[in-house]
Amino acid sequence: MNKKKGMGLLARQQAAGWAFLTPATLLIFVMSFWPMVRAFIISFQTGSAANLKWAEPVTKNYQRMLQDKMFQTAMGNTFLYLVIQVPIMLVLAILLAQLLNNKDLKFRGLFRTMIFLPCATALVSYAIIFKSLFATQGLINSALVGIGILKENYNFLGNPASAKAVIIIALLWRWTGYNMVFFLSGLQNIEYSVYEAAKIDGANAWKTFWNITVPLLKPVIVMTGIMSINGTLQLFDESVNLTNGGPANTTITMSHYIYNNSLGQGVANFGYASALSFIVFILVAVLAAINLKVGDTRD
Amino acid sequence: MTEAPRKTNVSHIQLRLIPSYIFLIIVSLISVFPLYWMLTAATNTTVEVARGKIWFGTNLLVNYQNLIKQQDLWRAMGNSFLYSTVQTVVCLFVCSLAGYGFELYHDKHKDRLFSILLLAMMVPQVATLIPLFMMVSKMKLLNTVWAFILPSISTPFMIMMFRQNSRNFPVDVLEAARIDGESELRIFFNMYFPIMKSTYAAAAVITFMNSWNAYMWPRVVMKDNSAQTMPMLIANLSNGYAVDYGMMMLGVLFCSLPTIIIFFVLQKQFAEGITGSVK
Amino acid sequence: MNKKILALVLACMMTLVACFAMAETLTVTAWDPNFNIPALEAAAADYKAEHPDFELVINTVSGSSDVELAMTTAGSSGDYSTLPDIVLFQDHYIQRYVADYPDAWQNLEGAAINWDDFGAEKLSYSTINGTHYGVPVDNGTAIFAYRVDILEQCGYTLADVTGITWDRFIEIGEDVWAKTGKYLLSMDGSGNDLPYMMLQAEGLSQFKDGEPFIVENEAMVQIISKLVEMIQKNILFLSNDWTGYTDGSIMGDQVAGVMNGNWIIPTISQVADNSGKWEITTLPTLTGAEGYAANGGSSLYITANCKNPDLAKDFLAKTFGGSTKTYDAALRDGGVITCCISAGQSDVYKEGVPFFNGQPIYSDIVEMGSHVPIVEQNDYHYTCRQYIGAAIQEILMGSDVATALQNAESQLRFAMDL
């Protein structure tokens, strides 16, 4: 009797557990996985959106991709942003978090708030702000000419190299504070006594940081790393609003190019756009997996 | 006697921290400057903005009048506020329920399901835009708050955040409540909810910001003028034949204020909530 | 009892009124609050004078791309119920959208419009397989506006820059730059309007028989070389984007000449200090004949979702179909210039414009519009322009003309899946 009742209770708990996660799970399946399946099917089709037909041969869109110079440019740009921006941002974020975690530091709350503030601005807004600041007649130019670093106003957004640099600077500005908050929280979970012990052992600041802080922060580094890689590979708003992919498509990102192929330029090639976005999906998944693996093996 | 050495000690520490202060001040200034510039630009005329004036002007009222003449500012603010609030409430409820379920009832199957759900983080938004639109439009939900919120009610990131934070939820409280005969749902509402307040605060800040700033999806599903959101309104301002910078920056300011205010108000709980999620 | 009946009657009447009001209401989507929205308001007022119950609900979006987005999403989901009754649509895209989403539109057969009264080039966009789908709103006829005071300062008159070759234009441009430090022309580097207009003035297109016509196109090669030469000699200012073009070069008073669709006039007119100093003329060409071209422009189309197409047709026919009242008000409030030839002969159109030194520019533009040659159109119009623009950038960075254009052509062929 007693046993039976216990089983019933356990079963009921089990049922409750499943019930709690059902709405969220269903929504993710319907709103993320199912559209992805649809997109996968569409990636084997061609024609206008109202009249999609199976491609001949079915892998045509994927074969096409190999000859697509523009997509290769877009992929190159996206990886450039990834390779330069993500490491700088994460290192800067850890450094800032480390500085702000010092209990002797005054105005910690104020610094933290100020550094976090950029990520409260809308993507559309901050793209507009940076575009105006870096315009040929904009404030940055006036300042640099005023100090004497530049002889004459420089067209930052009109030259491929400097336009890419502006995008990277904008990304650093927007996201460093956001990541810093995660690191700061991670640091606060580390007991102060661990540091005290290290001090007694005579470890210097650099050694302490490298041998104690970084390993303890590893889960946070992996998490922010995955989030940043994912965000950068799907970079869209900055490319659209800051440079519109220009000059001459030298700053365009993968997502922006996909958007142009599906909804951007009046030429709705959904089949091809879906095929392209699958490649992005695979890239993100592979990089995230590598990130997780690297995070594991350092243990 | 005891006062003096401590003072020297403190000032000694502070002296050592000078490089840190300098670095932090520089980073803070760089972080805040573009926002400060936005603030001053909103009070200047378009010519003054173009000439690089970085002090406050007297054109605020004119900019405001131009803005409300050209765009329905307060309707867009109201819309953005409504959509973001609804999305935050629904998202927090659904995701915290799931995070609670995944952590406190966890077993092999649920852990596996969770790692499958994490895959959704990697689904590119551009890929799902069209299929999602087809779905929402078939449900006859275009231009409604539901179209706005449906794709982002349940996000892997939020579920993960609640799942991580739930590790701090004392299991003995749960056991005790069960022995008292409380139903599982009541435990969630009466125990979990109050204990996890700071997690909710952090999640609310992030969700509200994301939904307030959303642009691509609303542009596709909120076709009607009366359903316009703030980021859409700003995009309208920057797309005319001739751009009025002062007016545009005032729009940008209006769009940024609510998220900044919410962050300020919930700052402390936000930090605590994030701390729990990275344990 | 009586009260109940009264209530019932009242309710019925209200429903009727509501139905009636619904029937007299049309919705329309358009995008520029300083340009085509005032034109639509003018038309609504015009029509309302005869039909007091009529109501036009205008839905403003941020740009023509939003209208295209709405059509694409509606078309791809097969659900047109979200569309307004009428949309304003860009001319260069409409053929593609009618071909891709044939069910999304209602044609204008049976509308009381005298089509012969419109410029043939303009109608060539909105006529598909001989069937009319759109009513033209604004006129995209290209103008070349010059600062005559600056020309005079350098020893030239408007006649000296009318009907000239591009080589002669370059000579004058060098002179103007040397004497005044002003560019004689500017272009939006991301939109690349100029190559297309220059080519149309030669009677040619970027496409031939549905395929890109770039490398083999002698005129195109020459035009690109001339443009690069102009940029290098400080005759042509190349901006990064549209804002740099309008705000920077035109409103920033850096140029002595502007060549674009006439909808650029309100931008030129923003600089009040230069009132009376501008005049307009035709475009230079490679041969020295007077050049005519068109850029931009849009028309109104009835969508499949319009429940009362007769009302929509009647509204369009009695306003943009040729009403002087509509067009005069549209010109006055929004600077929208008609492509309707008879409407372009009204007194309002014939008036001299003080900003343009008393020149009756509006009737001049309508007249110029009747000379614009019809050239081959293609769905990939803007894609092509984008690649031509990229080619210009490549040449400026050191590539040679032939290679850059070959790249542009092969990329375009790729995009077109040829």
Find chain C residues with C-beta within 8 A of A267's C-beta. 96, 379-380, 383, 415
- Is the CB of residue B201 less than 8 Å away from at least one CB of chain A? no
Q: Within 10 Å of residue A124's Cβ, how many Cβ atoms?
A: 25
* Predicted confidence band of residue C10 (pLDDT cuts 50, 70, 90): low
CB nearest to B242's CB, from C59, C69, C247: C247
Asked whether residue C368 is assigned to any structural domain, the reply reads: no
In this prediction, residue A4 carries a pLDDT of 46
Query: How confident is the model over B110-126, as pLDDT tens digits?
Result: 988 998 898 888 888 87
Contact C75 A48 (CB under 8 A): yes
Q: Least CA distance to C91: which residue of chain A?
A: A266
Report the alpha-carbon distance of residue A21 to residue B174 in Å, rounded: 18
Q: Least CA distance to B235: which residue of chain C?
A: C62
In this prediction, residue B2 carries a pLDDT of 44
CB nearest to A50's CB, from C68, C100, C252: C100
Are B67 and B56 in a shared domain? no
Are C123 and C153 in a shared domain? no
C89, C393, C416: best to mutate for the A interface, most A CBs within 10 A:
C393
**DSSP per-residue string spanning A231-244:** HHHT--HHIIIIIT
Find chain A residues with C-beta within 8 A of C379's C-beta. 266-267
Asked whether residue C357 is assigned to any structural domain, the reply reads: no
Are C51 and C155 in a shared domain? no
Q: Least CA distance to C78: which residue of chain B?
A: B134
Are B147 and B53 in a shared domain? no
Please tell me whether residue C340 adopts helix, strand or coil conformation: strand
Contact C82 B236 (CB under 8 A): no
Are B270 and B145 in a shared domain? yes
Q: Tell which wins on pLDDT, C5 or A193.
A: A193
C243, C254, C303: best to mutate for the B interface, most B CBs within 10 A:
C243
Q: In the predicted model, is pLDDT for residue C113 greater than 70? A: yes
In this prediction, residue C190 carries a pLDDT of 78
The minimum CA-CA distance between B60 and chain C, rounded to whole Å, is 21
- Is the CB of residue B47 less than 8 Å away from at least one CB of chain C? no
Are C280 and C334 in a shared domain? no
Asked whether residue A251 is assigned to any structural domain, the reply reads: yes
In this prediction, residue C299 carries a pLDDT of 93
C76, C187, C254, C392: best to mutate for the A interface, most A CBs within 10 A:
C76
**DSSP per-residue string spanning A155-220:** -GGGSHHHHHHHHHHHHHHHHHHHHHHHHHHHHHTS-HHHHHHHHHTT--HHHHIIIIIHHHHHHH
Contact A122 B215 (CB under 8 A): yes
Q: In the predicted model, is pLDDT for residue C18 greater than 50? A: no
Q: Scanning the structure block, which residue is given the tokens 């590539």? A: C399
CB nearest to C76's CB, from A50, A69, A158: A50
Are C126 and C156 in a shared domain? no
Question: How confident is the model over C5-18, as a mean pLDDT?
Answer: 53
Contact B129 A263 (CB under 8 A): yes
CA A34 to chain centre: 23
Which regions of C178-297 does DSSP assign to beta strands (E)? 185-188, 207-208, 211-212, 236-239, 257-261, 278-281
Are B192 and B167 in a shared domain? yes
pLDDT in single tens digits along all 299 residues of chain A: 444 445 577 787 888 889 999 999 999 999 999 999 988 998 998 877 777 788 888 888 999 888 888 899 999 999 999 999 999 999 999 999 988 888 888 888 889 889 988 988 878 788 888 888 888 878 888 888 888 888 888 888 888 899 999 999 999 999 999 899 888 888 887 777 777 787 777 777 788 888 888 888 888 888 888 889 888 988 888 888 888 887 878 899 998 998 888 876 666 788 898 899 888 888 888 888 887 777 665 44
Look over chain B and give the mean of its residue pLDDT values, rounded to a whole number: 85
Asked whether residue C366 is assigned to any structural domain, the reply reads: no
* Total tally of structural domains belonging to chain B: 2
* Contacts across the A-C interface (CB distance below 8 Å): 81
Query: How confident is the model over B154-200, as pLDDT tens digits?
Result: 999 899 889 888 888 888 888 888 888 888 888 888 888 888 888 89
* Amino acid identity at C394: E
Q: In the predicted model, is pLDDT for residue B53 greater than 90? A: no
In this prediction, residue A7 carries a pLDDT of 55
In this prediction, residue A3 carries a pLDDT of 45
CB nearest to A49's CB, from C76, C190, C240: C76
* Total tally of structural domains belonging to chain C: 2
Contact A28 B154 (CB under 8 A): yes
In this prediction, residue A220 carries a pLDDT of 85
Contact A266 C240 (CB under 8 A): no
Phi, psi for residue B149 in degrees, rounded to 5? -90, -25
Are C98 and C199 in a shared domain? no
Q: In the predicted model, is pLDDT for residue C220 greater than 90? A: yes
pTM over 0.80: yes
Last residue of a domain, one of B13, B40, B60: B60
Are B178 and B55 in a shared domain? no
* Predicted confidence band of residue B10 (pLDDT cuts 50, 70, 90): low
Q: Residue B152 belongs to a domain with what CATH number?
A: 1.10.3720.10
In this prediction, residue C302 carries a pLDDT of 95
Are B48 and B172 in a shared domain? no
Last residue of a domain, one of B35, B60, B85: B60
Q: Taking the CA of residue A188 as centre, how many other CA atoms within 13 Å lie in the half-sphere pointing to its CB? A: 18
Asked whether residue C355 is assigned to any structural domain, the reply reads: no
Asked whether residue A165 is assigned to any structural domain, the reply reads: yes
3-state helix, strand, coil in chain C (%, to 5): 50, 15, 30
Contact B252 A129 (CB under 8 A): yes
Q: In the predicted model, is pLDDT for residue C340 greater than 50? A: yes
Cβ-contact A271, A61 below 8 angstroms: yes
Are B9 and B145 in a shared domain? no
Find chain A residues with C-beta within 8 A of C241's C-beta. 157, 244, 246
* Amino acid identity at A69: K
In this prediction, residue B269 carries a pLDDT of 83
Contact A266 C93 (CB under 8 A): yes
Are B35 and B165 in a shared domain? no
* Total tally of structural domains belonging to chain A: 1
Query: How confident is the model over B222-270, as pLDDT tens digits?
Result: 877 788 899 888 887 776 556 678 888 899 899 988 988 888 888 888 8
Are B178 and B43 in a shared domain? no
The minimum CA-CA distance between B241 and chain C, rounded to whole Å, is 7
Find chain B residues with C-beta within 8 A of C61's C-beta. 223, 225, 236
In this prediction, residue A57 carries a pLDDT of 85
C31, C57, C79, C245: best to mutate for the B interface, most B CBs within 10 A:
C79
Interface of C with A (CB under 8 A): 65, 68-69, 72-73, 75-76, 78, 93, 96-97, 99-101, 103, 189-190, 238, 240-241, 244, 248, 252, 379-380, 382-383, 386, 389-394, 411, 414-415, 417
Are C190 and C232 in a shared domain? yes
CB nearest to B137's CB, from C61, C69, C77: C77
Q: What are B15's two structure tokens?
A: 């002296």
Report the alpha-carbon distance of residue C175 to residue C150 in Å, rounded: 11
In this prediction, residue C159 carries a pLDDT of 94
Q: Scanning the structure block, which residue is given the tokens 């209200």? A: C14
In this prediction, residue B9 carries a pLDDT of 62
Contact B242 C33 (CB under 8 A): no
Q: Least CA distance to C104: which residue of chain A?
A: A50
Query: How confident is the model over C285-308, as pLDDT tens digits?
Result: 999 999 999 988 899 999 999 999
Find chain A residues with C-beta within 8 A of C68's C-beta. 266
Q: In the predicted model, is pLDDT for residue C5 greater than 70? A: no
ipTM: 0.85
Question: How confident is the model over B61-69, as a mean pLDDT?
Answer: 88
CB nearest to A266's CB, from C73, C382, C391: C382
Are B180 and B226 in a shared domain? yes
Report the alpha-carbon distance of residue B232 to residue B247 in Å, rounded: 15
The per-type count for chain A, helices as H runs and strands as E runs, is: 14, 2
Interface of A with C (CB under 8 A): 46, 48-51, 64, 67-70, 135-137, 155, 157-158, 244, 246-250, 263-268, 270
Question: What is each CA distance from B203 to A240, B102, B263, in whole angstroms?
Answer: 28, 17, 11
Q: In the predicted model, is pLDDT for residue C1 greater than 50? A: no
Report the alpha-carbon distance of residue B216 to residue A185 in Å, rounded: 31
Asked whether residue A230 is assigned to any structural domain, the reply reads: yes
In this prediction, residue B70 carries a pLDDT of 79
Find chain B residues with C-beta within 8 A of A121's C-beta. 35, 252, 256, 259-260
B7, B95, B109, B123: best to mutate for the A interface, most A CBs within 10 A:
B123
Query: How confident is the model over C146-165, as pLDDT tens digits?
Result: 999 999 999 999 999 999 99
Residues 32-51 of B with CB under 8 A from A: 32, 34-35, 37-38, 41, 49-50
Query: How confident is the model over C172-210, as pLDDT tens digits?
Result: 999 999 999 999 999 988 778 899 999 999 999 999 998
Are B43 and B173 in a shared domain? no
CA B122 to chain centre: 20
Contact C241 A244 (CB under 8 A): yes
Instruction: Kindly tell me the burial class for residue B21, based on how many C-beta atoms sit within 10 Å of its own C-beta (0-12, 13-18, 19 or more).
Output: middle
CB nearest to A158's CB, from C69, C240, C415: C240
Query: Domain limits at B55?
Result: 3-60
Q: Tell which wins on pLDDT, C241 or A26.
A: A26
Query: Domain limits at C166?
Result: 142-293+373-415
Please tell me whether residue B140 adopts helix, strand or coil conformation: coil
Report the alpha-carbon distance of residue B28 to residue A117 in Å, rounded: 9
Q: Residue A228 belongs to a domain with what CATH number?
A: 1.10.3720.10
Are B81 and B180 in a shared domain? yes
Contact B220 C73 (CB under 8 A): yes
Q: In the predicted model, is pLDDT for residue C8 greater than 80? A: no
Query: Domain limits at A287?
Result: 68-297
* Predicted confidence band of residue C418 (pLDDT cuts 50, 70, 90): confident
Please tell me whether residue C142 adopts helix, strand or coil conformation: strand
Asked whether residue A44 is assigned to any structural domain, the reply reads: no
Q: Residue C196 belongs to a domain with what CATH number?
A: 3.40.190.10
Asked whether residue C224 is assigned to any structural domain, the reply reads: yes
- Is the CB of residue B212 less than 8 Å away from at least one CB of chain A? yes
Query: What sign does the dihedral A154-A157-A159-A160 (CA atoms) show?
Result: positive
Are C150 and C136 in a shared domain? no
In this prediction, residue A181 carries a pLDDT of 87
Question: How confident is the model over C22-29, as a mean pLDDT?
Answer: 82
In this prediction, residue A254 carries a pLDDT of 92
Cβ-contact A235, A241 below 8 angstroms: no
